[in-house]
Amino acid sequence: MRVTLPKFCFVVHPLSLEDVARYEPGAKGKGAPMVRKILEWMPAWTAVHVTGVRTPDGRETEGWFVAAALLPEQMLELPREDVYGRILKAIELGESLGAQVAGLGAFTGVVGDGGVTVAQRAPIPVTTGNSLTISAGVQSLLRGAREMDVDPHEATAAVVGATGSIGAACVRLLAPSVGRVILVARNATRLRKLHEQIAGDLACRSDATTDVSAAVRQAQLVLTATSSTQDLIEPEDLQTGAVVCELSLPHDVSRRVAALRPDVLVTEGGNMLVPGEPRFERVREPGTEFDLNLPPRTALACMSETMVLALEQRFESYTLGRGIDLARVVEMEAMAARCGFTLGGMRAFDAAITQEKIAATRAAARERRSRVPA
């Protein structure tokens, strides 16, 4: 008798014009205006079948990545109801395949009210995956600090995107581990209100500013969690030996940092190692792996949270909206560990960070410091 597995779906979308070809190889070489127009009318489709996710105690789940084919800027520019409709069509497609819980990937979890309206209208429970993303991001930043011999308790940390759902929770989760935290966001009014609300409860000194460059220049540790589609962190702003953890997609850190600042450690924070022998198979090209642009067995933390909910059979709308419950972050971290999910290997700018690379970065930081007069 075939055992019925708990099932999930996860809504994905291309992050750039270049990224469209990962989903639809036929789009390669076509002009940007044509691609954008095609994406606007293209219906949701099942892109990937996920199998082989298995916990250490033998539990399994099966799922699908369902595509809502809009670019980040289209998610933000098109009428909100149109975007909600595209996301809901993707979830309905997943539900028709048997999914019992849905995850919102990238900008599908950002647009509007952070998944609340989508969850109210969806046929199955919905999560943004932000609880595990927050946990993985803070763990990744502190791991980077250890690798670069930065004492977090003596360090200043800047959280860029602090008024967002992920950023605000990262501030609170990070505060007990650092000496000072700087909250950074574009909207001065929202930033001031948030800082006034939480400053008295933070376990470290805190400041707030809308000036990204000024904040980064003061920080040894930087965490980014924005919905920007532009580079925010430039090589000129970073301290010698700084550690930067990115939770943003598209990325916030300029690729110029990789070329011009060999003394700085940049890492993507939201990657998890998936237990078992996970397989991500393209639905339209059976037998062909979908390129997640990640190492084998690795998935984004938001994807992983959706898998964890299925494995634990917690079919509920777990993480939604702008205010994230830290108790849920801690609970999700424990559930993920119980299911065998662990922090993924360090990566930056689409490449793995080896121990040799880390050693070279530490050496470059020491050499750069030695050239600065005392």
| Tally of domains within the chain | 2
- Are 220 and 283 in the same domain? no
Please compute, for residue 140, the number of CA atoms within 13 A of its CA located in the half-sphere on the CB side. 32
Is residue 166 domain-shared with residue 217, that is, in the same domain?
Answer: yes
141-157: b (≥16 Cβ within 10 Å) or e = bbbbbebbebebeebbb
Domain match, 201 and 253 both: yes
pLDDT digits (tens, 9 = 90+) for 242-283: 999 998 766 788 889 989 999 999 998 878 999 999 999 999
Same domain, 70 and 147: no
Looking at the structure, tell me whether residues 243 and 147 fall in a common domain: yes
CATH code of the domain containing 231: 3.40.50.720
Range of the domain at 355: 132-270+347-370
Global model pTM greater than 0.85: yes
Residues 52 and 20 in one domain: yes
Q: Which of 261, 233, 258, 260 lies closest to 247 in space, CA to CA?
A: 233
Q: Is residue 158 part of a domain?
A: yes
**Is residue 20, in this structure, part of any structural domain at all?**
yes
Same domain, 121 and 136: no
Instruction: Tell me the pLDDT tens digit for each residue of 5-51.
Output: 999 999 999 888 777 777 777 667 677 788 788 888 789 999 999 99
The span from the CA of 291 to the CA of 210, in Å, is 36
For residue 2, being part of any structural domain is answered with no
Say yes or no: 325 and 357 in one domain. Answer: no
State whether 212 and 353 are in the same domain. yes
pLDDT, position 250 = 65
| 1 in a structural domain | no
Q: Does 357 lie in the same domain as 261?
A: yes
Residues 167, 300 within the same domain:
no
